[in-house]
Amino acid sequence: ADTDSLVVPALETSTHVFNGFVAGSGLDKFNLEAHKGSAYTAANAAATSNPGATDVEDDVTMLVDIAGGQDITTAAGLTVAVAAGGEYVNINSANNKKGVFVTAVDENAGTDQHVFTWTSDGSGVITPVKVGILSGAAVDINDMHKTNFNA
């Protein structure tokens, strides 16, 4: 199969649109390794409700919007959603770590996926930066794999 790749620089703050993205192991790549400095170690299954305490550092974590009032397709909304009192309050990070969030308004195939790199500060507070939108008929949050975000 033909795969397409986009490499995102370490300190990127612009949003890149990747049309026709195909999710899954060994398929298209939205390479974010430069952000972390090494490969992401896991891809957490798409959360469709606030999970029990979940550590997400070094991972690619998928979140589907839930009824909590925050718009997790924006950096501002996602920042609130993963903070104390947010709809995804149980998403946690150790201090001074990095990772990736992929968010969507639903689990349907063809729904745009919003990609954020994030860092946590010395208190574990997560600050996301939107770096991409993955779109296309074959993009599905349930098919995302860590290899879609590694080199």
**Residue 59: is its pLDDT beyond 60?**
yes
pLDDT of residue 10: 86
Side-chain half-sphere exposure of 39, counting CA atoms within 13 A: 10
- Using pLDDT thresholds of 50, 70 and 90, give the confidence band for residue 13: confident
pLDDT of residue 12: 84
Structure tokens at 127: 């600050």
CA distance 95 to 143: 29
pLDDT of residue 105: 95
Q: Residue 20 in contact with residue 136, Cβ under 8 Å? A: yes
Minimum mean pLDDT range among 11-15, 61-65, 145-149: 11-15
Mean pLDDT of 128-139: 94
- Using pLDDT thresholds of 50, 70 and 90, give the confidence band for residue 4: confident
CA distance 89 to 92: 8
pLDDT of residue 2: 60
Give per-residue pLDDT as tens, 68-81: 789 999 999 999 99
Give per-residue pLDDT as tens, 106-115: 999 999 999 9
**Residue 98: is its pLDDT beyond 70?**
yes
Q: Residue 107 in contact with residue 46, Cβ under 8 Å? A: yes
Looking at the chain, list the stretches that DSSP marks H as alpha helix, in order from N- to C-terminal side: 33-36, 75-81
